[in-house]
Structure 1
């Protein structure tokens, strides 16, 4: 009789990859410009281990810095995690109550509500406590939410100083979904995160969905994703504004959708060719200064 192979969790697979990809960019940026930083992991031990492995790859840059890794858990740290915290400049500790945390300097916190690692009220209290300050960022996984609830989430994040955010549902093949919410005070970091979002494993069994897309369209993970949800969002925004520049709509794409600013040009080029919008100048490649309007 063959052994039963445990099926991997597609949500965990994609989330862990996104975390590693983003930490690969976040860590050198923080160490280059700050002497002290904090990473908080309120999730599974394998996520903490993945983060520690990333930090270990930058051991040569940790000299002269203080990188504090805080794991939120009721039990003592496992020996496996403790063995990964060897580079000088890296400190690893655990806390039972997130309310006990105090942080100075840049912060990135991964708070996993969807799997019960931390409950939602505690996660939002932690965001409200820790987000105010320079270079603070949060990555949350939450239960699926309605468009109105996502708007409320983003309002709460803006209120604590994190105006740049992306919300995207991770939908598994079996229909189970989780909401990913990343927020930062730096628009460049949001661009970086979105680039990693679309570079994740396309074969993990996860598709993306914009929770504010009225059609609830599922989109395959791809470097060149299907853009119909973005087309709907941009045409709606253009109808609301009347006239604006391509740069204006690129900012809307960045701040209000799950797509990247670069995806905007492809959508608008196609819409102009189809006669759905007008543009000025009428010919040539679209640039950030090109003015677009809805077709009368």
Structure 2
């Protein structure tokens, strides 16, 4: 991990426009994840391609600019679909403009950002392939979007709910569970200035959760209890895997949720004492 993480600069990125609450959080998550993704790409001999199909090309250039001294010889490329390339590309970054997203043929590791309702038909196109992953920012769809997310082995979706109750969907799809965990780390690390709260589409109670590095875990606790009712006793490692793949939370959040469930007498653990370890078995009380 890089010693200094890129911080989203609203004064620069928002010059001349006043984006809404949702756009601020979407951009912050995307910038943070692209920063982490690029750090991995410049350490790999395979390099990578970032495909921008929304309005964040200028933000992407600022991220790549943070790596200007490390881009040369790393085969890093920015592909912009449907709009002109902004100025300011750092030396060592290849920039290509295509008329529409499907013309962005790529090889090797690829991260794509799709924006708007037209993102869902394109998700499978970009998500299929070794090392391919997609971030989607879109209005809440009328139809079920989960089939589209199923094109990738690992995915998550979170509703961004504003002060006025209006929601947009932020989704991520990848074949690599480690990258899903990395995305969720950035999801919970964004600034809280925008007045947005998260809601898990799979939470039957639709609880709103403040964005925080230490989030409210009650929705996760309910989800883990439901999983134990369905499947029987599980190890902590299995519950962490469930948390990663089936909720908006991070694997490490499962420890706190299980700890509170044990304290409340909702679950038992074996062994009964000591630190919760990956092999600790948890079951309903």
Q: TM-score, with normalisation over the residues of structure 2?
A: 0.89
Q: Please list, as runs of the form range in 1=range in 2, the aligned pairs for 1:205-224 lying within 5 A after superposition.
A: 205-224=195-214
Identify the residue that residue 91 of structure 2 maps to in structure 1.
87
Q: How far apart, in 2, do the equivalents of 1:272 and 1:76 lie?
A: 56
Query: Structure 1, residues 24-65: CA drift from partner, whole Å, max 9, x if none?
Result: 111021121134421111111xx1111111111111211112
State which of 141, 145, 151 in structure 1 corresponds to 2:146: 151
Q: Please list, as runs of the form range in 1=range in 2, the aligned pairs for 1:138-217 lying within 5 A after superposition.
A: 138-145=134-141, 149-155=144-150, 157=151, 162-217=152-207
Post-superposition offset of 1:7: 5.0
Identify the residue that residue 37 of structure 1 maps to in structure 2.
48
Q: How far apart, in 1, do the equivalents of 2:230 and 2:254 lie?
A: 17
Contact 1:35 1:64 in 2 (8 A): no
Q: Which moved more, 1:163-172 or 1:124-133?
A: 124-133
Residues 171, 279 of structure 1: alpha-carbon distance in 2 compared, 3 angstrom cutoff: same
Post-superposition offset of 1:245: 0.5
Residues 56, 240 of structure 1: alpha-carbon distance in 2 compared, 3 angstrom cutoff: same
Matched, 1:135 2:131: yes
Q: How far apart, in 1, do the equivalents of 2:52 and 2:17 lie?
A: 25
SS at 2:144 equivalent: helix
Q: RMSD between aligned alpha carbons?
A: 1.8
Query: Structure 1, residues 211-250: CA drift from partner, whole Å, max 9, x if none?
Result: 1100111000001001111011100001111111111000
Identify the residue that residue 236 of structure 1 maps to in structure 2.
226
Contact 2:135 2:172 in 1 (8 A): yes
Q: How far apart, in 2, do the equivalents of 1:272 and 1:135 lie?
A: 39
Q: How far apart, in 2, do the equivalents of 1:67 and 1:6 lie?
A: 29
Query: Structure 1, residues 131-166: CA drift from partner, whole Å, max 9, x if none?
Result: 3222111000122258x92533332x2xxxx21111
Post-superposition offset of 1:125: 4.1
Looking at secondary structure, tell me which structure has more helix per residue: 1
Choose 1 or 2 for highest CA Rg.
1
Q: How far apart, in 1, do the equivalents of 2:167 and 2:38 lie?
A: 29
Contact 1:102 1:130 in 2 (8 A): no
Q: TM-score, with normalisation over the residues of structure 1?
A: 0.86
Q: How far apart, in 1, do the equivalents of 2:146 and 2:133 lie?
A: 18
Matched, 1:21 2:32: yes
Unaligned runs of 5+ residues in structure 1 are: 114-118
Matched, 1:98 2:110: no
Identify the residue that residue 72 of structure 2 maps to in structure 1.
63
Contact 2:199 2:209 in 1 (8 A): yes
Query: Structure 1, residues 171-206: CA drift from partner, whole Å, max 9, x if none?
Result: 111111111111111111111111111110112111
Unaligned runs of 5+ residues in structure 2 are: 1-15
Q: Which moved more, 1:99-108 or 1:232-241?
A: 99-108
